[in-house]
Amino acid sequence: MAGSIKRAVTSYDVAKAAGVSQSAVSRAFTDGAKISPATREKVRKVAAELGYRPSFIAQSLITRRSNLIGIVVPGLVNPFYSAVLDELSHKLNLMGYRVLLFSMYRDDDTTPIMEEILRHRVEALVLVSSSLSSHFAQECQHLGLPVLLLNRKNDSQSVSSVTSDNLAGGAAIADFLLDAGHRQLAFIAGRDTSSTSRDRETGFRHRLDTRGARPPLRDSGMWSIEEAMNATRRLMALPDPPDALFCANDMMAIAALNVVVGEMGMRAGHDISVVGFDDIAMASWPLIDLTTWVQPLSEMVEAAIAVLKTQLDSAEAAPVQHVLKGKLIIRGSTRPRR
């Protein structure tokens, strides 16, 4: 009958056509299973002719492996996370793993996502978020699940992590803005629970203090474009407003530029300097031209893959912390050094 759906070919069909048992069909598609090369080749040839696809669920039950890696992100509004996800997924695919993506915006109730992670039997979890606390990672680890923090760290160092050197980045930005002649600096933070934001601010404040500069003004953008714009408006409405803004990521810096340039008519790089952190693709667009700290994304992903391999190979692997160097890239949103 036209338009009817064909019945899916089963392992029983393949076994019957190949003259073998159903268990032999299963072993033919399971790496390392005991089966002669001739039988494996015969079964796979018949399967291809019939259009058979082995059941992923059935295989995982037999091997006790899902070949799934869970990745938790705080949504994909920030292009930095999209870029990390793209590169990380590609590397994991080359290793034979498939990626299961979870979006998690808050960690005040982790039960639903925890249930999903356990139900899908992921083999490891990568937490790619600077907005979530480390409590969720520790929960997963206590359940025996290998966990890696990417672009953040756990202050107790009980969970493996890969980050860029946020302290050094904050310090270098402070040096640059002071060398450009700025005297009233401000920091627009992410979330207070974020180790990433805290470290960038700590490096920034410590270097200003070391050089005898004023403590920076501060407001919170909560990693949000809208909140960063509101924070910028509040800072610029102060009796003695800042002449330079350091934002904890590029998206908030772009939001700040929208306020000082788009709403207030100031000239970035002349009347005020704005600096971000990450070096997302749009930071280099001519209309934005954002000075920023470059996170070594490819190196961070490579380090993450190496840690995951170790964790998957050994349940007893000790937590490790990788801190990678970044660099400042100077564009038109800031005054030049004097």
3-state SS record for 132-175? CCCHHHHHHHHCCCCEEEECCCCCCCCCEEEEECHHHHHHHHHH
Domains 68-164+296-325 and 166-295 share a fold: yes
pLDDT at 258: 98
Q: What is the pLDDT of residue 66?
A: 78
Distance CA 276, CA 213 (A): 20
User: Do 160 and 320 touch, CB atoms closer than 8 A?
Assistant: yes
Residue 304: strand, helix, or coil: helix
Contact between 338 and 179 under an 8 Å Cβ cutoff? The reply is yes
Question: Residues near 260 by Cβ (< 8 Å), separated by ≥ 6?
Answer: 232, 236, 245, 266, 268, 271, 272, 274
Tokens for 179? 């060398």
* DSSP letter (8 states) at residue 269: T
pLDDT per position in the chain (338 positions), as tens?
444 556 678 888 888 999 998 778 878 877 667 889 999 999 899 988 888 877 554 554 444 567 899 999 887 889 999 999 999 999 999 998 999 998 876 665 566 777 788 788 899 999 997 666 667 788 888 778 899 999 988 877 889 999 999 999 999 999 999 999 999 999 999 998 889 999 999 999 999 999 999 999 999 999 999 999 999 999 999 999 999 999 999 999 999 999 999 999 999 999 999 999 999 999 999 999 999 999 999 999 999 999 999 999 887 889 999 999 999 999 999 999 98
Query: What is d(CA 85, CA 329) in angstroms, rounded to the nearest whole number?
Result: 23
This model's pTM is above 0.75 = yes
- CATH number (1.10.260.40, 3.30.540.10, 1.10.760.10, 3.30.300.10) of 11-63 reads 1.10.260.40
φ, ψ at 35 (rounded to 5°): -165, 140
Contact between 283 and 322 under an 8 Å Cβ cutoff? The reply is no
Could you give the residue ranges of the DSSP H alpha helices within 1-148?
Answer: 11-18, 22-28, 37-50, 56-63, 79-94, 111-119, 135-142
pLDDT of residue 63: 42
Q: How many residues does the chain have?
A: 338
- CB contact at 8 A, 204 and 186: no
What is the distance of C-alpha 306 from the center of its chain? 16
**Strands of 257-313, DSSP E:** 273-278, 291-294
Distance, CA of 236 to CA of 234 (rounded, Å)? 6
Integer Cα distance of 12 and 331 in angstroms:
64
Asked if 273 and 177 count as a contact pair (C-beta separation under 8 A), the reply is yes
pLDDT for the residue 288: 98
Helix (H) / strand (E) element for 311: namely helix 297-313
Task: Quote the distance between the C-alpha of residue 94 and its chain's center.
Answer: 19
Instruction: Please report, for the chain, how many H helices and E strands are present, in that order.
Output: 12, 12
**Residue located via tokens 């080749």:** 41
Give the list of residues 6+ apart from residue 43 with CB closer than 8 angstroms, or none.
Answer: 14, 18, 20, 24, 25, 28, 29
The CATH number, out of the four listed (3.40.50.1400, 3.40.50.2300, 1.10.12.10, 3.30.420.40), of the domain defined by the range 166-295: 3.40.50.2300
Q: Which among 219, 138, 224, 136 has a CA at the least distance from the CA of 185?
A: 219
Residue 321 contacts residue 156 (beta carbons within 8 Å): no
pLDDT at 108: 58
Q: What is the pLDDT of residue 10?
A: 83
Where do the structural domains in the chain lie, given as residue ranges? 11-63, 68-164+296-325, 166-295
Distance from the first to the final alpha carbon of the chain: 80
CATH topology of domain 68-164+296-325: Rossmann fold (3.40.50)
Contact by Cβ (8 Å): 271, 241: no
